[in-house]
A and B are shown apart, each in its own frame.
Chain A
Amino acid sequence: MANPLYKKHILSIADLTRSDLELVVKTASSLKQTPRHDLLQHKVIASCFFEASTRTRLSFETAVHRLGGSVIGFADAGNTSLAKKGETLADSVRVITSYTDAFVIRHPQEGAARLSAEFSSIPVINAGDGSNQHPTQTLLDLFSIYETQGTLDGLKLAFVGDLKYGRTVHSLAQALSLFGARFYFIAPEALSMPDYICEELTDKGIEFSCHESIEEVMPELDILYMTRVQKERFEESEYRHIAAKFVLTADELKTAKPNMKILHPLPRVDEIHTDVDETPHAYYFQQAGNGVYARQALLALVLNEEV
C-alpha cells in the first residue's frame, strides 16, 4: 500500500494528521542516518520562488540534489512571465507542472500554494505563502524537537517574541496540539498570540498560559522557541525597550533542564545573544541543517509509493 502522502499536495499543517507528521519526522530521521541517492532519480523538481528566501530555497534544492533529482526554477519573480507579461499564476502553474514531477512554490500572497494545487496534476509543496503557512518549516521544527527529545508527546514549550505575526509559531502550535503539548507564551502585548489560535487550543483541550518573562518558566521547559521581533512594527524607542526585554542571554539558562533546547527559525538579529551559541542548549543551527532532511523526507514521500 502506498504511503499516505504519496502524490499529495503539502499546503498547510492543518491538512496533515498526527500520523502524517510522524511519518515525515521518522523518514527525515532515517534519511539523516542512512542517506539515499536514488529516491528522486530521473525526477525534475520545479523550485519557483516568487519572493527571495535564502534558507528555504537552498535547503529545498539541496534536498533534491541529495536524493538524485534535478531542479529547474527561479529565485525571484522578476524575470518571469507573471512579472513581465502579466500572466496569471494559474496559467504559469499549468505550464510549469507539465514539465516537472513536483512543484515547490514560495509566493508573497496568501493562498498561492492552494490555488496552484487546483491547477496542478503533480504534488504542490508550499514553501511559504505570504503570512499564511510555511509547513516545511514546521516539519523541520518537529524533526528537530523529536531528534532532541526522543518524542513529540507531552512536551513543554515556550514561544517567545512576535507571536502575532509569526506564522512559524502558529503552525508549530497547531501541529504540537496533536501531541498534547503544554505551551507558555511570552510576547509584548502588541504581539501576543492571536485569539483564533488560542481558541483552537482551548477547543482541543490544550493547556497554555501567558507570561511576562522567560525566567518565570525556564525550569519547566523542554523547548524554548525564540522568534524575531520585527523592528519595523514599533517606534525606535519602543522597539529598544521591547527588544531589551526579549533578549536571551546565557545567564538566563542557569535554571534550564540539562536537555532543554533552544530553537529559532532564523535569521536572528539580537534576540539571542551570541554567548548562548556556545551553550549545550543552542540548537538553532542544527535545526536549520535539519531543513534539508525534513524536505528530503517530504519530497521522497510525495514522489515514492514506498520509502
Chain B
Amino acid sequence: MPEKKQLQVEAICNGSVIDHIPAGQGIKILKLFHLLDTRQRITVGLNLPSAALGAKDLIKVENTQLTADQANQLALFAPQATVNIITDFKVVTKHQLQLPEVIVGVFACPNSNCISHREPVRSRFGVRSAQGEVRLKCHFCEKSFTKEIVSDAF
C-alpha cells in the first residue's frame, strides 16, 4: 500500500509560510521578529522531519504578508529558510533570502553603555560579511558584534 502523504500543519488561505528553519530557531524567530504582535493566527511546527535538514521548524502567519526586507532579516539566523506568500491557498511569491544591509528595530545593542538603550530611537545595525563571518555594527555606538552575540543579548 502506498504511503499516505499529508500536510503535517494545516494549510493557510492567506499569509506567509516560513519553512526550512533550522530546528531550535523557530521560537527565537517568533520573538525576534515580533510575529506575535501581528495578532493573527500563527501555527508553529517544531522538530518536523526534513530531508535537507534532518529536523526543521516551520511558522505560518495568517493574513500577514512578509516583505522582501522582512524576509531578508531572517537570513541572519536561518539562511536556508524559505518564505512563501500565500493567497487563496496558492504560493504567489517565493522570497529568495539575501543578507540585509541594515537591521532596524530587531535587536537591542549588546553594549550596555550604548546610548540607544535609554533614548527614543530604534536600534540599527549595519550588516557586513567578512572572511565568512557575519558582523553587525551598531549605528550609534559603532561597536561590531557577531550575530550570535547580538541575538543572545536579546
Contact = CB atoms under 8 A, between A and B. Distances in A.
Contact of A199 (B111, B121, B130): B130
B140 A110 contact: yes
A213 interface: no
A111 B140 contact: yes
Given A109-B113, A110-B113, A130-B113, A115 B142 contact: no
Contacts of B118: 88
Contacts of B116: 111, 115
A69 B130 CA distance: 46
B141 A111 contact: yes
Given A109-B113, A110-B113, A115 B143 contact: no
A108 B141 CA distance: 11
Contact of A110 (B111, B120, B130, B144): B111
A57 interface: no
Nearest to B118: A88
A132 B144 CA distance: 11
B: contact size bracket: 10 to 19
A31 B141 CA distance: 32
Contact of B142 (A14, A88, A108, A109): A14
Given A89-B115, A199-B130, A111 B120 contact: no
B139 interface: yes
Interface in B75-130: 111, 113-116, 118-121, 130
A256 to B, nearest CB: 35
Nearest to A86: B118
Contacts of A129: 115, 141
Contacts of A132: 141-143
B120 A130 contact: no
A112 B113 CA distance: 10
A112 B121 contact: no
Given A111-B141, A115-B116, A115-B121, 17 more contacts: A88-B119, A88-B120, A90-B119, A90-B121, A107-B115, A110-B111, A110-B113, A110-B141, A110-B143, A111-B114, A111-B115, A112-B115, A114-B139, A114-B140, A115-B115, A132-B141, A199-B131
Interface of A: 12, 14, 88-90, 107-112, 114-115, 118, 129-133, 196, 199, 203
28 contacts: A12-B142, A14-B142, A88-B118, A88-B119, A88-B120, A90-B120, A108-B113, A109-B113, A109-B114, A110-B111, A110-B115, A110-B140, A110-B141, A110-B143, A111-B116, A111-B139, A112-B115, A114-B115, A114-B139, A114-B140, A115-B116, A115-B119, A130-B113, A132-B141, A132-B142, A133-B142, A196-B144, A199-B130
